[in-house]
Amino acid sequence: MAFESSLLFGMYSQMKQSLQGSAQGAGPQLQVIIPSAAYSGAIISFILCPSELVKCRMQVQGTDSLVPMSRRYDSSLDCALKTVKHDGVRGIFRGGFTTLLRESIGNAVFFSIYEHVRYHMHLHLKSASPDHRNLIDVGVGIASGGLGGIAFWSAVLPLDVAKTIIQTAPDNSSSRNPFQVLSSIYRRAGLKGCYVGLGPTIVRAFPANATAIVAWEVAVKLLGIKRD
């Protein structure tokens, strides 16, 4: 996660700076934010897919699991090695397309919400005392990052549900098409089935993303990196 987050924020910042040269204007610009965020999300999906496949398979196995004894894993490394041995390199990237969709769409939503909330909050608080500027910046980071995280998962949780099913299915011949998987879930359990786990995901999303944004903004300041 440390490597993935640093790569995501670094690529987003660089891509955004590159695109802003041809799209000048006041305030957040969706024509810059969306492609920058979607591109960054697509790139990190190639890192996230193998790591999440291992994580998901390790989490679903247990003493009462349906995973056959011959396919159980002793550790994360054992899971990765056995997956490659049985399914080849393609096996470790199972669910890659779904992960790419989730990260591209999710980060486009996340950064759009983050940038707009951050901009408008700073606009309303610009007359605040300079003595409290650092505290205000932290507060804005918490609010904008937390709301961005909630928006991210509200938008793409169905894709995450489909990804988990695709990556943990014991049958290699099962569908890898997220839309077919979601269609099957919808027929069986309705919209509620596509959003299973929404509660704990949202509870986690606010503090996790608020912390990530505050850490990013503090790091940018400490490193003396200029940003709008």
Give the mean model confidence (pLDDT) for residues 156-166: 96
pTM: 0.89
CATH code for position 42: 1.50.40.10
Report phi then psi at 76, rounded to 5: -65, -40
The Cα–Cα gap between 149 and 8 comes to 14
215 CB-contact burial (10 Å; exposed 0-12 / middle 13-18 / buried 19+):
middle
- pLDDT digits over 103-155, tens only? 999 999 999 999 999 999 988 887 666 666 778 889 999 999 999 999 999 99
Does residue 87 belong to any structural domain of this protein? yes
Give the chain's mean pLDDT: 89
What's the pLDDT at 221?
Answer: 87
The single-letter code of the amino acid at 84 is V
Residues 6 or more apart whose Cβ sits within 8 Å of residue 66? 170
What's the pLDDT at 167?
Answer: 93
Higher confidence at residue 65 or residue 221? 221
Alpha-carbon dihedral angle through residues 149, 153, 154, 159, given to the nearest 10 degrees: 160
- Domains held by the chain: number: 1
Does residue 95 belong to any structural domain of this protein? yes
Give the mean model confidence (pLDDT) for residues 146-168: 96
Does residue 214 belong to any structural domain of this protein? yes
Q: Is the pLDDT of residue 179 over 90?
A: yes
Contact 54, 76 (CB under 8 A): yes
Long-range contact pairs involving 186-192 (C-beta distance under 8 Å, separation at least 24) = none
Residue-range definition of the domain harbouring residue 140: 1-223
Does residue 102 belong to any structural domain of this protein? yes
Does residue 228 belong to any structural domain of this protein? no
Confidence category of residue 183, pLDDT binned at 50, 70, 90: very high
What's the pLDDT at 97?
Answer: 97
